[in-house]
Amino acid sequence: MKYHYITIEGNIGAGKTTLAHLLSKHFNSRLILEQFADNPFLSKFYENPRQFAFPLELFFMAERYKQLKELVHTQDMFQHITISDYLFAKCLLFAKVNLPQEEFRLYQKLFDIIHQQLVQPDILIYLHAPVGKLQQNIKRRNRPYEQFIADEYLLNIQETYTHYMRQHEIKTIFVDAANADFLGNPLHLGVILDALNQEYAFGQHYFTLP
């Protein structure tokens, strides 16, 4: 395996955590999962985005930083691969969508200070699924505060991710996950495993699932 720090990203409901679990099991790797349920502002944000967006995003950034700082910089003699189900830059992308301009500028200053202190992943796996598929997955996992997420919001998040990846030459395995079933179809997981055995130039490298 050529990569020691692998990050999985994608929109809400794209299947990041499922794939992270499967890859971690396959490689016997250290697993970093976002502790989204610990954010006390999450359900409040969905009820009143304008009032709770800033504390929501600050809490997420602080928790992500703490988690990545502790786990990525801790040597583990038995596990040489780390897999995460989020990219730290996710903080900035969601803040750009959720915050008004003045608050976002302040948030970005804090992000820039923190971001440079973290190790960046060797490769990013980005799961791209259409909004209809995302909504199906969201309904299936049945988190109460997610059940009324608008298609427009998901589309805005999607566009923010793709714009960021075009601007930053991240080494990316870009997966068309419109029909993804990593748990039920071993061929889908096989595509990811095969992709991780290849070396890439910086930029996006596209894969489809059978």
> What pLDDT is recorded for position 73?
66
- Give long-range contacts, CB 8 A cutoff, 24+ apart: 139-145: 141/13, 144/43, 145/42, 145/43, 145/46, 145/47
**Spatial contact of 71 and 82, defined as CB atoms under 8 Å apart:** yes
**Among residues 85, 122, 151, 181, which one is catalytic?**
85
> What pLDDT is recorded for position 114?
92
Residue 45 has pLDDT above 80, yes or no: yes
> What pLDDT is recorded for position 64?
94
Q: Work out how many domains the chain is built from and give that number.
A: 1
Domain range spanning residue 55? Answer: 5-208
Residues 6+ apart with CB under 8 A from 45: 52, 53, 56, 98
pLDDT digits (tens, 9 = 90+) for 59-95: 999 999 998 987 666 666 556 899 999 999 999 999 9
The Cα 107–Cα 57 span in angstroms is: 8
Q: What is the CATH number of the domain that holds 101?
A: 3.40.50.300
Q: In a 10 Å sphere around its CB, with 0-12 CB exposed, 13-18 middle and 19+ buried, how is residue 76 labelled? A: exposed
Residue 76 known to be catalytic: no
Joined tokens for residue 49: 């985005």
The Cα 175–Cα 192 span in angstroms is: 8
> What pLDDT is recorded for position 77?
53
Residues 6+ apart with CB under 8 A from 17: 33, 34, 85
Beta bridge partners of 8: 125
Instruction: Compute the half-sphere exposure of residue 56: CA atoms within 13 Å on the CB side of its CA.
Output: 23
Mean pLDDT value across residues 99-111: 96
Mean pLDDT value across residues 6-22: 96
Global pTM value: 0.92
More confident residue, 35 or 101: 101
